Structure 1
Amino acid sequence: MTDIDATENETPETRLAAVRERIAIAAREAARVPDEVVLVAVSKTFGEEAIRPLLNAGQRIFGENRVQEAAKKWPSLREQYSGVELHLIGPLQTNKVEEALDLFDVFHTLDRPKLAEALVKARDKGRKMPRLFVQVNTGEEPQKAGLAPGDVDAFITRCRTEWSLEVEGLMCIPPLGEEPALHFALLEKMARRNSLPNLSMGMSGDFETAVKLGATHVRVGGALFGSRV
């Protein structure tokens, strides 16, 4: 499924309240506590003027795809609003690791040994490590980043034993046109097998399904911000 846009005549505040309520309903239907689900507001391509209303409404957790884009808007926003937590949800080049560490609290897209080694090199220089999710290419799509499902267990083992990196969860983006529940269930099974507590899965078009299948983090953009340019 794709990221469904918000109704254009709604306000950011009403969109935020509606998404939070939908998360709560889905969680309760799955016999879960709604507060277990973290809403990551995906603000990629949107400027400060679009983000500020959500900040004013109390949203503090945001996701960005690109380091350079985040660097243009978030330092000033963070000066104005306390408690912001920024999540990197797009692919990260190894030469951008140092800059990304200056900006992001959580990486959702750890997906290869070279990136793990770049993080270790930064840590060895005294840099604080972000919270880490391993990205899984559950559909094994050649154009997408992420580990193939068959490589996940070995990679997590290397993160723990060879690199001493603490991974807390898995992330996936299901293929367009496929039933997302199948991919969410696969991700949950892999996380459970590796004793990982967190699952980053679900976007505007399918986050309720993700919540019912165990998502701890949902990445919602269109339902909050409307259409992207």
Structure 2
Amino acid sequence: MSPASLANDPPHDATTRLAAVRNRIIRSAALAGRKPQDVTLIAVSKTHGAPDITPLIAAGQRVFGENRVQEAQDKWPALCAATPDISLHLVGQLQSNKAADAVALFDVIHSLDRPSLLNALAKAMASAGRQVPCFVQVNIGAEEQKGGCRIADVPALIMQAREADVPVIGLMCVPPADVEPAPYFALLGKMAREEGLSGLSMGMSGDYETAIMLGATHVRVGTALFGSRPKA
């Protein structure tokens, strides 16, 4: 079964869905000559409530991703209190005025993409006495409608982050839809190597196997684990 078909028609049981995704991670890592434990599965739980999330926690999943700070604030404190070893990742766009809230709640931020946000995160981390690892989000397809740092501006933003003592652990991207993602994943990997970064946050439900083959260290999987998101 292809990743796309898995995303379109996931099994109904959370344990089965999680096992299927983990097995594909293991297989893809093996094909790439990598260790599966070097790939972190982030279960993207945006728009899904506790009844959908707790079965995955019970099945052993511990790393989750959210797109919005407010939504995460509403549902994760209670879930984390019940399961203290949860690691929570912010995988969506972050407004500068939410930087302090994000630093307080999240363990990793995947959407550092501009100097103004960098400054806000630096102040929030200094105030909280908490260093939160960040990925620089790259607008890898140069799409006007998407967030992310321009490719040409990435080295400068990374340098500014290092000077501000904001830990950058890698690069993140979302390739353009409906095109072959492999060239974009390969480009992100090349950029990361040039900057001396080992982290690559890339790959979602339809393409995470390709991303792993090209070096992804973090894959952000939602639909293949939770099914289609509820309609607003």
- Normalising by the smaller structure, the TM-score range is over 0.9
Q: Which amino acid aligns with 1:141?
A: E
Gaps spanning 5+ residues in structure 2: where?
Answer: none
CA distance in 1: counterparts of 2:126 and 2:56, whole angstroms: 37
Q: Give TM-score, length-normalised by structure 2.
A: 0.94
Q: Deviations over 1:141-171 (max 9, x none)?
A: 111110111111121112113x122210000
The residue number in structure 2 matching 1:125 is: 127
Residue pairs, 1:135-214, within 5 angstroms: 135-161=137-163, 163-214=164-215
Residue 119 (structure 1) shift: 1.3
Size of the aligned set, in residue pairs, is 228
CA distance in 1: counterparts of 2:168 and 2:138, whole angstroms: 13
Residue 2 (structure 1) shift: 7.6
CA distance in 2: counterparts of 1:128 and 1:9, whole angstroms: 39
Contact 1:133/1:171 (8 A) holds in 2: yes
Inter-CA distance 4–99: structure 2 relative to 1 (3 Å threshold):
farther
The residue number in structure 2 matching 1:115 is: 117
Residue 103 (structure 1) shift: 1.2
Contact 1:3/1:203 (8 A) holds in 2: no
Q: Quick check: 1:42 aligned with 2:44?
A: yes
Q: Deviations over 1:193-227 (max 9, x none)?
A: 00001100000000000000000000000000001
Contact 1:3/1:220 (8 A) holds in 2: no
Specify the SS of the correspondent of 2:7: coil
Gaps spanning 5+ residues in structure 1: where?
Answer: none
Contact 2:133/2:166 (8 A) holds in 1: no
CA distance in 2: counterparts of 1:6 and 1:45, whole angstroms: 17
Contact 2:25/2:209 (8 A) holds in 1: yes
Specify the SS of the correspondent of 2:60: coil
Q: Deviations over 1:68-92 (max 9, x none)?
A: 1011110010111120000000011
Q: Deviations over 1:93-140 (max 9, x none)?
A: 111111112210000000000011011212332431211100000001
Q: Which amino acid aligns with 1:38?
A: T
Q: Which amino acid aligns with 1:55?
A: I
The residue number in structure 2 matching 1:105 is: 107
CA distance in 2: counterparts of 1:17 and 1:168, whole angstroms: 28
Q: Which amino acid aligns with 2:78?
A: S
Query: What is the percent sequence identity of the aligned residues?
Result: 54
CA distance in 2: counterparts of 1:14 and 1:40, whole angstroms: 16
Q: Give TM-score, length-normalised by structure 1.
A: 0.96
Inter-CA distance 173–221: structure 2 relative to 1 (3 Å threshold):
same
